[in-house]
Structure 1
Amino acid sequence: MSATAILRLESRKRVRGSVALVVALGLLAAMYFSIFPSFEDEVDDVMEAFPEYFFDIFGIEALHTIEGFIAAEIYSFFWIVLVGIYFAYIGAGLIATDIDERRMDLTLSYPISRESVILQKVAALWVPLVVLNVAVPAVVYVGALAIGESFDPVALAMVHLLSIPYLLVCGAIGLLLSVVAPRVRTARAAAIVLVFVLWLIDGVSRLDDDYEWIGVVTPSRYYDETAILVREEYAYGDAGVLLIVFLVLLAVAVLTFSRRDL
């Protein structure tokens, strides 16, 4: 087994799912861009139809602009929640799948350390990170031009660049569950639920200043897509916090896996 065999194998596995997710997000984007011209005239009625806390939970603002509309319709839920869950789901299967299917014993029979196995599997996340964060902004940018609107290309690039630490944390949450859960189904289910609940806690905690501090433990608190697209505010410090959390979770997962009995 070559030094990068696992990385290459895992990278190939991620291509199909990444492309499928791009297609799904592209279709959603096309639908929302087709809606925006008529929605722009009805935005006041829409905002009056929903309670104020609804906008606070999702961090929605400036719906009358293409930036605020797309931030609300695509990034505030589909990107943060669904793509985050996708990375957590992948992470939850990285180790547990091979253990369940008895492939891990074969892999470790080669002269390769457990640390190398887990690091190569995590490194394969570069595929969905690159595919999604290149293809989706291209679709969004072209879609805006198609309806006579436009995005600041820097802000659009930053909303994706600064999402990478967040997605890595979601993947690391799944990875940690992958090395501690008894079954891959358990790891995946727990990862999905945990990422969703953390996002929900973040949103609900914003409704009351007395409880807002609870959200500091949630990854989504450190990634604000609306601030990036609408206000062009780039929180590099928050991205740094997420990167540190990712490295800590990765280190704990590596240490746990290296000591686990298979």
Structure 2
Amino acid sequence: MTAILRLESRKRVRGSIVLVVVFALLSALYFSMFPGIQEEMEVFEDAFPAFLFDLFGIEALDTIEGFIASEIYSFFWSLLVAVYFAYIGAGMIAGDVQERRMDLTLSNPVSRESVVLQKVAALWVPLVALNVGVPVIVYVGALAIGESFDPVALAMVHLLGVPYLLVCAGIGLVASVLVDRARTARTTALSVVFALWLVEAVSRLDPAFEWIGALTPSRYYDETAILVREEYAFLDAGILTVAFLALVGLAVLIFTRRDI
């Protein structure tokens, strides 16, 4: 009953480890830069136009929390890791359909609903690897340069980020059940996630268009507010969780009605 889950989980281990290693290398670079940037913060802030700070939600760059939130979490986590989860989701079904593995899978006594749900459940591997490995790296890196994070705030930025990453995976999953080619599904999912992230960022620049950002998942995950201001938006995380469940439900509905 859990053969697909076990197989998919094993497939996610290598990619998750590689991503954690990449994050460790990037973190080492940014932590090594912080002391120098902190000393020249006024010059650094004057070098960039003000709208860039609004675009990326940058604030309190002279603190380790603000610096890491803007340099790592606002881009690497909210965009690149989100794109990674969309990529995974987009290959879940389309990849097997394209390679004719799905025919073999469905020839066994397993329902289509179970296939989708077990593949989605395998996301626990990258979620655990990233949300355990990354905060440890960040916390130790801060200590190494004589700084420190509030461990609660650091834990919350990851905990509240889980629903956001799941929504991105859900977008990929819907794309995966709509098309038969994995490359097309992945391109579609990555484009949608990036476009939504960009729309939300741009919508912050003009109050007249701020409402548009409410339609994007990144509006409900503010890593800067969590790390810098210690504001924990549990309601927003709940909204993202509901959105993820809705996307999975839609994907299951589409897949069970498809002719493969």
Give the match for residue 25 of structure 2.
27
Give the match for residue 86 of structure 1.
84
Give the match for residue 6 of structure 1.
4
Deviations 1:121-170, CA, capped at 9 Å, x for gaps = 00000000000000000000000000000000000000000000000000
Give the match for residue 255 of structure 1.
253
> Does residue 1:105 correspond to 2:103, yes or no?
yes
Aligned residue runs from structure 1 range 205-244, under 5 A: 205-244=203-242
Give the match for residue 55 of structure 1.
53
Shift of 1:201: 0.1
Q: Which consecutive unaligned segments of at least 5 residues does structure 2 have? A: none
Give the match for residue 193 of structure 2.
195
% identical equivalent positions: 70
Shift of 1:182: 3.1
Q: Distance in 2 between matches of 1:46 and 1:261?
A: 57
SS in structure 2 opposite 1:121? helix
> Does residue 1:246 correspond to 2:233, yes or no?
no
Q: Distance in 2 between matches of 1:211 and 1:52?
A: 18
Question: Which residue type is aligned with residue 26 of structure 1?
Answer: A
Pick from 146, 149, 161: which aligns with 2:147?
149
Q: CA RMSD in A?
A: 0.5
Deviations 1:92-129, CA, capped at 9 Å, x for gaps = 00000000000000000001000000000000000000
Give the match for residue 122 of structure 1.
120
Deviations 1:157-194, CA, capped at 9 Å, x for gaps = 00000000000000000000000023110000011111
Structure 2 contact 95–180 (Cα < 8 Å) conserved: no
TM-score (norm 2): 0.99
Between 1:159-168 and 1:175-184, the stretch displaced more is 175-184
Deviations 1:60-106, CA, capped at 9 Å, x for gaps = 00000000000011000000000000000000000000000000000
Structure 2 contact 91–185 (Cα < 8 Å) conserved: yes
Q: Distance in 1 between matches of 2:54 and 2:24?
A: 26
> Does residue 1:95 correspond to 2:101, yes or no?
no
TM-score (norm 1): 0.99
Pick from 165, 168, 178: which aligns with 1:170?
168
Q: Distance in 2 between matches of 1:249 and 1:157?
A: 26
SS in structure 2 opposite 1:252? helix
Q: Distance in 2 between matches of 1:55 and 1:145?
A: 26
Structure 1 stretches of 4+ moved >4 Å: none
Q: Distance in 2 between matches of 1:96 and 1:79?
A: 25
Shift of 1:32: 0.4
Q: Which consecutive unaligned segments of at least 5 residues does structure 1 have? A: none
Pick from 24, 44, 52: which aligns with 2:42?
44
